[in-house]
Amino acid sequence: MNILVCISHVPDTTTKIKFTDNNTRLDVSGIQWVINPWDELSLTRALELKDDASCGINTVSVAHVGPVSAEPTIRKALAIGADNAYRVDTEPLDAYQVAAQLAQIVKAGAFDIILCGIESSDYNGSNVGGMLAEFLDLPSVSGISKLEIKEGKVHITREIDGGKEMLISPTPFVGIVQKGIAKEPRIAAMRGIMMARKKPIQLVDAVQTEPLSETLEFEPPKPRPACKFVDPDQPGKLIELLQNEAKVI
């Protein structure tokens, strides 16, 4: 079996988010880019499965849609252990364009498990995985918190309201991954970093697509009013405020 992990890169969560050009664009100066946390976990899980010979995973590939500036992120995925990488050379404007590009990589390859994260932590779209599945007319499973391969079958646990569901999915399928899929992201070792330099990043020409939406502008969240402090010896005051001022209890 072959696994494809779709990776997006996002500003490190500790980066202060700022905008430029009248708040129409993200100010990228000083941003530290990282692999989207869920994609890092998906990749980790894919590699764990490959390490276990009984799972029969041949290759783990990663794919990214974006300009050359994303190559350090792709190299990082290779250093962590991906066997090869694809990059579609285009600057996508929305999730639809990303998914349309990823679809051609999947069609050209022979992937059994295609993994996407539940959302990118920048635009919080939650869209690429489902769109990709629909472009390919493949089954998709969302909210995956566990992925195992036993006797050639793909066992999945997905989170549902108030519990979980255990499934067996036919392949190929698109898995949309959330928390739990792997414990800690795998870190690149020195050897991996050396080897990653030699691994190829396959450039894929973009297909023509039109975006369906456009981000016009950004604004910071409204500042909350200053905190009102209550004497720790009189917590009853807090209850009063919540009852009479905020009216939430």
Ligand X SMILES: Cc1cc2nc3c(=O)[nH]c(=O)nc-3n(C[C@H](O)[C@H](O)[C@H](O)COP(=O)(O)OP(=O)(O)OC[C@H]3O[C@@H](n4cnc5c(N)ncnc54)[C@H](O)[C@@H]3O)c2cc1C
Strand pairing of 140-150 and 113-117?
unpaired
Handedness of CA 194, 197, 200, 202 (dihedral sign): positive
User: If contact means CB under 5 to 8 A according to the sort of partner, which of ligand AMP, another protein, ligand X, none does residue 214 touch?
Assistant: another protein
Residue 25 phi, psi (nearest 5)? -135, 150
Rounded CA Rg of the chain: 21
Please tell me the distance from the alpha carbon of residue 66 to that of residue 86, in angstroms, as a whole number: 10
Find the shortest distance in angstroms from Cβ 5 to ligand AMP. Answer: 7
Through-space distance between the first and last CA atoms of the chain, rounded to whole angstroms:
54
**166 near another protein, judged by CB under 8 A:** yes
**143 near another protein, judged by CB under 8 A:** yes
- Cis amide leading into 172 (omega within 30): yes
Identified binder of another protein from the candidate list 51, 52, 91, 165, rule CB under 8 A: 165
Of residues 28 through 47, those in contact with ligand X by CB under 6 A are 37
Residue among 13 and 202 whose Cβ is closer to ligand X: 13
Please tell me the distance from the alpha carbon of residue 193 to that of residue 178, in angstroms, as a whole number: 27
User: If contact means CB under 5 to 8 A according to the sort of partner, which of ligand AMP, another protein, ligand X, none does residue 121 touch?
Assistant: another protein
Find the shortest distance in angstroms from Cβ 228 to ligand X. Answer: 18
**13 near ligand X, judged by CB under 6 A:** yes
Q: DSSP class of residue 220?
A: P
**124 near ligand X, judged by CB under 6 A:** no
Please tell me the distance from the alpha carbon of residue 219 to that of residue 53, in angstroms, as a whole number: 49
Find the shortest distance in angstroms from Cβ 123 to ligand X. Answer: 17
User: If contact means CB under 5 to 8 A according to the sort of partner, which of ligand X, another protein, ligand AMP, none does residue 36 touch?
Assistant: ligand AMP
Find the shortest distance in angstroms from Cβ 46 to another protein. Answer: 18
Q: Point out which residues bind ligand X (CB under 6 A).
A: 13, 37
